[in-house]
Amino acid sequence: MKLKTHAEEAAEFIKDDARTHWHDETLWHVRSNRDRSAQGIPEWETLRDTASATKDYVLSHLGELLEQFEANAKANGVEVLWARDAKEHNEHVYRILQENKVKDIVKSKSILTEECGLNHYLENKGYDVVDTDLGERIIQFAKQTPSHIVLPAIHLKKQDIGKIFHDHIGTKEGASDPNYLTEAARQHLRKKFVEANAAITGVNFGIAETGGFVVCTNEGNADMGTHLADVHIACMGIEKLIPRAADLGVFLRLLARSATGQSITNYSSHFHRPAKGKKLYIILVDNGRTEQLGREDFKNSLKCIRCGACMNTCPIYRRSGGHSYNYAVPGPIGSILSPGRDLKKHSTLPFASTLCGSCSDVCPVKINIHEQLYKWRQVITENTNMDTSKKLSMKVAGMTFGKPVLYDLAGKAVRTALKITPKSLVYSSINVWGKHRDLPEVPKESFKEWYKKNRKQ
């Protein structure tokens, strides 16, 4: 079977012009909220630097920190399991469910379980897994996957959701009022919370120093699930560690502000010991992370705290939708993580970027996202038989990005070319991204030229 390129996947999404615009604007609005919020914190850049340096420390001491985390968690009465890959992770979950004779499971948003294909695996074993984050429940009904790591149903309009709810939980036909629909979901999910014997959650931050972990939600769904069920399984990527509890001061200040602009999620829950008579498990998952750690150029991607800011700001993501990435983590960061998992399958994702650098600018842990995308392009160009037009433009890009003088010249040439070349010539076949877009307005001079002319002596 021929693998689909990102552009081919996106073609479906951008067929609906109005929807593409709406998606673009909605995410831009979230990005603007992030800006306002970040600008309200004078020490924002210090926070980013510190978060980034803390994660550098974590990556360079990962082994010790994991052992420390495990020892402390065990001392707290938590059972700790290790999983090399998705398969082992899923098997652990299954065994725990069997041992505890669990029938009904509620789950709170966990991108890791999505990465591992847990729902699908458990459903094949006869379990009904109920996603409880409202956005996730919506797409679960619709038999889709999340299109965004923080806003899983961002690609759907309220009319779509009204229809989905009408079909699955019997809301009135044609109803699309968010208040009404949320209330219906509340009633439906309350029942699931009360019935569930086990709750599965992700982990936002694992604390090596204390052996505990933090889960952040706005809906309180992780808490409703875990505190009512007898068994709590927390699934955690090994890179989610932080050294000390007090490091959370930095990370909790950055996370929600970067994600949606809010100052903090309404619930930041710290789990250390199981409640009396209950069981708490933590599964530490590798699934390609140690391999990524060894890739000098890409190891920084493991600092990601999954805020989604890079998606909200990415001009390609906003116009192509999360599903076009065909990976659990879409957008700029997903385009770095996915080729490490399967170079061939995800070979076109690093090209789904303008390399404008906006992703790197907003990233709260200062991952050099656009540089890594550029590096993947080189790796991929060397390792695959990409079609020649792309290879050629890559070569040109490679030359120009590598040499500032050439880049300036190329910019000048393009600015001239844009002015004199008919649209069809410049955009049609060479640049797949130009297909559905207008030409940009041509600036008369580049910033550099302008600066030279206008700067004070």
306 sits near ligand SF4 (criterion: CB under 6 A):
yes
54 binds, among other proteins, ligand SF4, none (CB under 5 to 8 A by kind): other proteins
29 binds, among ligand SF4, other proteins, none (CB under 5 to 8 A by kind): other proteins
305 sits near ligand SF4 (criterion: CB under 6 A):
yes
Name which of residues 190 to 229 contact other proteins (CB under 8 A): 190, 193-194, 207, 210-212, 218-221, 223-224, 226-228
For other proteins, the closer of residues 17 and 296 by Cβ is 296
Distance, in Å, from the CA atom of 256 to the CA atom of 151, rounded to the nearest integer, reads 12
Distance, in Å, from the CA atom of 449 to the CA atom of 165, rounded to the nearest integer, reads 56
Structure tokens at 67: 């052992």
330 sits near ligand SF4 (criterion: CB under 6 A):
no
142 sits near other proteins (criterion: CB under 8 A):
no
The interaxial angle of helices 178-195 and 221-228, nearest 10 deg, is 20
307 binds, among ligand SF4, other proteins, none (CB under 5 to 8 A by kind): ligand SF4
* Collapsed DSSP state (helix, strand, coil) of residue 98: helix
Instruction: Report the chain's terminal Cα–Cα distance, integer Å.
Output: 62
310 sits near ligand SF4 (criterion: CB under 6 A):
yes
Selected from 28, 44, 82, 141, the binder of other proteins by CB under 8 A is 82
CB of 307 within 8 A of CB of 365?
A: no
Q: Which amino acid is at 345?
A: K
Alpha carbons within 13 angstroms on the beta-carbon side of residue 277 total: 4
378: left (phi over 0), alpha (psi -120 to 50) or beta: alpha
167: how many CB neighbours lie within 10 A of its CB? 12
Name which of residues 172 to 191 contact other proteins (CB under 8 A): 178-179, 181-183, 185-186, 189-190
148 binds, among other proteins, ligand SF4, none (CB under 5 to 8 A by kind): none
304 binds, among ligand SF4, other proteins, none (CB under 5 to 8 A by kind): ligand SF4
For ligand SF4, the closer of residues 26 and 446 by Cβ is 26
65 sits near ligand SF4 (criterion: CB under 6 A):
no
CB of 324 within 8 A of CB of 13?
A: yes
Distance, in Å, from the CA atom of 163 to the CA atom of 174, rounded to the nearest integer, reads 7
Q: Least CB distance from residue 50 to other proteins, whole Å?
A: 5
322 sits near other proteins (criterion: CB under 8 A):
no
Selected from 35, 56, 104, 297, the binder of other proteins by CB under 8 A is 56
Distance, in Å, from the CA atom of 232 to the CA atom of 235, rounded to the nearest integer, reads 10
Q: Which stretch binds ligand SF4 (CB under 6 A): 199-207, 361-369, 394-402, 420-428?
A: 361-369
Name which of residues 256 to 285 contact other proteins (CB under 8 A): 260, 262-275, 284
Structure tokens at 11: 């073609």
Q: Least CB distance from residue 174 to other proteins, whole Å?
A: 15
The interaxial angle of helices 369-383 and 388-402, nearest 10 deg, is 130
57 sits near other proteins (criterion: CB under 8 A):
yes
Q: Which stretch binds ligand SF4 (CB under 6 A): 220-228, 308-316, 397-405, 430-438?
A: 308-316
Kind and range of the H or E element at 284? Answer: strand 279-285
Alpha-helical segments (H) within 109-177:
111-116, 118-124, 134-141, 158-169
Interacting residues with ligand SF4 (CB under 6 A): 258, 304-310, 333, 362-365, 367, 369
